[in-house]
């Protein structure tokens, strides 16, 4: 579970995140939406222990990100907006490296590598250098490394960037499957994607949460996701 309570992040005179609270439970896929500069990536970075909050708290699987950062990192898989990869490493080599960081070894490590390579359709690419891959396949490698240690919570910042329509459909299917057993929160600018795979939606604007509800409740308004988003983020 991911639990955000009264979270605030201030840069100089600007409140990038302003006293927000929300939860994402096991087996739930939450779409985290908002215009550029709304505070999405800042919130995600705090939850993933990449930034410290000015005030408030974030808990991942019961661990506080400030008090128990190592335990949080063991329980979280994080894909930032700008997917950081070592382009000179081979795909399988990179996944072995990431698995080693999480102290996976031997047959257990090789088993996890095989599972994520199969899950994200990387079998034909696993012996290539990452720098030789298309943007879409690099994104798949980034997604694979978030799952290598089988975390309980996934935080995905624009996870489908650069994917073609066929790849997009495949990755949506993977996220839906993963979301049955894990907590997934992801941001996207593709609103149809939220309607297709999310259980809930949290919309943030100017650092403040302006909507938090189940996706079915939003559908019952009779408005499209685009209409609701425009109304709340003007």
- The whole-number pLDDT of residue 100 equals 95
- The whole-number pLDDT of residue 224 equals 81
- The whole-number pLDDT of residue 228 equals 84
Length reported for the chain = 234
* Mean of all residue pLDDT scores within the chain: 91
Closest CA to 198 of 208, 186, 209, 210: 186
The pair of structure tokens assigned to 76 is: 């979280």
- The whole-number pLDDT of residue 10 equals 96
Task: Find the mean pLDDT for residues 23-52.
Answer: 93
- The whole-number pLDDT of residue 184 equals 96
pLDDT tens readout for residues 50-79: 999 999 999 999 999 999 999 999 999 999
pLDDT tens readout for residues 152-210: 999 999 888 777 888 888 888 888 888 888 999 999 888 888 888 899 999 999 999 99
Closest CA to 18 of 225, 205, 217: 205
- The whole-number pLDDT of residue 185 equals 95
- In order, the DSSP letters of 154-204 are EEEESTTTT--HHHHHHHHHHHHHHTTTSEEEEE-S-HHHHHHH-SEEEEE
pLDDT tens readout for residues 100-140: 999 999 999 999 999 999 999 999 998 899 999 988 899 89
How many whole angstroms separate alpha carbon 70 and alpha carbon 217? 37
Domains of the chain: 2-81+151-232 (3.40.50.300)
């Amino acid at each position: 579970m991911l639990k955000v309570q009264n979270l605030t992040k201030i840069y100089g005179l600007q409140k990038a995140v302003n006293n927000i609270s929300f939860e994402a439970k096991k087996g739930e896929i939450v779409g985290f939406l908002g215009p550029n500069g709304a505070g999405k990536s800042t919130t995600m970075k705090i939850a993933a222990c990449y930034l410290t909050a000015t005030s408030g708290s974030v808990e991942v699987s019961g661990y506080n990100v400030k008090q128990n950062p190592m335990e949080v990192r063991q329980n979280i898989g994080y894909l930032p907006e700008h997917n950081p990869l070592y382009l000179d490493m081979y795909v399988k080599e990179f996944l072995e490296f990431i698995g080693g960081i999480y102290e996976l070894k031997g047959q257990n490590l090789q088993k996890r590598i095989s599972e994520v390579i199969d899950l994200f359709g990387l079998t034909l690419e696993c012996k290539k250098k990452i720098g030789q891959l298309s943007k879409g396949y690099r994104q798949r490698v980034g997604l694979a490394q978030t799952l290598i240690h089988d975390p309980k919570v996934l935080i995905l910042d624009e996870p489908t960037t650069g994917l073609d329509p066929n790849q997009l459909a495949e990755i949506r299917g993977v996220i839906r499957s993963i979301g049955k057993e894990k907590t997934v929160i992801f941001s996207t600018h593709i609103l149809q994607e939220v309607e297709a795979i999310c259980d809930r939606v949290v919309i943030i604007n100017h650092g403040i949460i302006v909507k938090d509800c189940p996706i079915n409740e939003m559908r019952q308004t009779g408005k499209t996701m685009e209409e609701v988003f425009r109304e709340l983020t003007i």
